[in-house]
A and B are shown apart, each in its own frame.
Chain A
Amino acid sequence: MSACEVKQLNNRRIVLEAKNITKVFPGVKALSNVSLKLREGEVLALLGENGAGKSTLIKVLSGVHNCEEGDVFINGEKVVFNKPSDATEKGISIIHQELNYVGTISVAENIFMGNIPKKGFIIDYPKMYEEARKIMARIGVDINPKEIIGRLTVAQKQLIEIAKVVTDQTKVLIMDEPTSALNDVETENLIKFIHNVAKKGIAIIYISHRFDEIFRIADSVVVLRDGCNVGGMDIQDASREKFVTMMAGRSISDTYIKKEANPGDVVLEARHLSTTHIKDVTFQARYGEITGVYGLLGSGHNDLGPAIFGQERIISGEILVDGKNIKLDTPITAIEHGMAYVPAERKTEGLILNSSIKINMTTAYYSKHKNKKFIDFGKDNSIAKKWIEKFSIKTPSPETKAESLSGGNQQKVVLSKWLELNPKILILNEPTRGIDVGAKIEIYKILDELCQQGLCVIMITSEMEELLTMSDRVMVMHDGLIMADLSGEKISQNNIIKYAMGEQNERDE
Chain B
Amino acid sequence: MKEMNKQSTTLRIIDRLKSSNSSDIMTVLGAYLILVIFFSIKSPYFLRVNNFLNIGLYAAIMGAVACSMTFINVSGCIDISVGSQIAVVGMVVATLSRLELPIGIIILGGLLAGGLCGAFNGFFITKIKINPFITTIASMQILRGIAYLISNGQTIVVTNDVLKFIGRGRFFGIPVTLIILIIMYLIFGFVGKYTVFGRSIYMIGGNAQSSFLSGIKVQKTKFIIYAINGVMAGAAGIMLTAQTGAGLPMAAAETNMQALSAVILGGAGLTGGKGTILGTFIGVFVLSTLNNGMVMLNIQTFWQQVIVGTVLLIAVAIDAIKGGSLKRKI
Contact = CB atoms under 8 A, between A and B. Distances in A.
Interface stretch (A147-155, A360-368, A382-390, A472-480): A360-368
Contact of A375 (B15, B19, B199): B199
A50 B216 CA distance: 34
A280 B194 CA distance: 45
Given A355-B203, A367-B215, A375-B196, A399 B16 contact: yes
Contact of B195 (A348, A359, A364, A373): A373
A343 interface: yes
A180 interface: no
A403 to B, nearest CB: 10
Contacts of A399: 12, 15-16, 19
A351 B212 contact: no
A126 interface: no
Given A350-B210, A354-B273, A332 B15 contact: no
Interface string B190-230: 00011111111011001101111111110000000000000
Given A354-B273, A356-B19, A397-B15, A363 B211 contact: yes
A401 interface: yes
Given A309-B213, A374-B195, A396 B15 contact: yes
A335 B215 contact: yes
A416 to B, nearest CB: 12
Interface string A319-358: 0000000000011100100000101000011111111100
Interface on chain B toward A: helix, strand, loop, or mixed SS?
Answer: helix
Contacts of A352: 203, 206-207, 210-211, 273
A331 B213 contact: yes
B269 to A, nearest CB: 12
A185 to B, nearest CB: 33
Contacts of B211: 352, 363
A424 interface: no
B217 A372 contact: no
A149 B203 CA distance: 36
A368 B216 CA distance: 9
Contacts of B195: 373-375
A349 B197 contact: no
A367 B273 contact: no
B217 A332 contact: yes
B11 interface: yes
Interface residues of A, number: 33
A400 interface: yes
Interface centre among B15, B193, B198, B273 (most CB of A within 10 A): B15
B196 to A, nearest CB: 5
Contacts of B203: 352, 355, 359, 363
Interface residues of B, number: 28
A374 B196 contact: yes
B12 A397 contact: yes
B213 A355 contact: no
A366 B199 contact: yes
A319 to B, nearest CB: 17
Interface centre among B194, B199, B211, B217 (most CB of A within 10 A): B199
A286 interface: no
Interface in B161-200: 193-200
B143 to A, nearest CB: 32
A417 interface: yes
Contacts of A348: 207, 209-210
Contacts of B216: 363, 367
Contact of B19 (A331, A341, A401): A401
A349 B44 CA distance: 57
Given A348-B209, A399-B15, A400-B19, A375 B194 contact: yes
B273 A355 contact: yes
B26 to A, nearest CB: 18
A282 interface: no
Contact of B199 (A335, A359, A401): A359
A401 B15 CA distance: 10
A357 to B, nearest CB: 10
Contacts of B212: 311, 330-331
A311 B273 contact: no
Contact of A366 (B15, B196, B207): B196
A332 B218 CA distance: 11
A350 B209 CA distance: 8
Nearest to B271: A354
A341 B212 CA distance: 12
A392 B196 CA distance: 28
Contacts of B273: 352, 354-355
Given A348-B210, A374-B194, A397-B15, 16 more contacts: A331-B213, A331-B215, A343-B213, A348-B207, A348-B209, A349-B213, A352-B206, A354-B206, A359-B203, A363-B210, A363-B211, A363-B215, A363-B216, A373-B195, A399-B19, A417-B214
10 contacts: A331-B213, A348-B207, A348-B210, A349-B209, A352-B273, A366-B196, A366-B200, A374-B194, A374-B196, A375-B194
The 8 closest A-B pairs by CB, nearest first: A367-B215, A352-B206, A363-B214, A352-B207, A335-B215, A332-B215, A364-B214, A366-B196
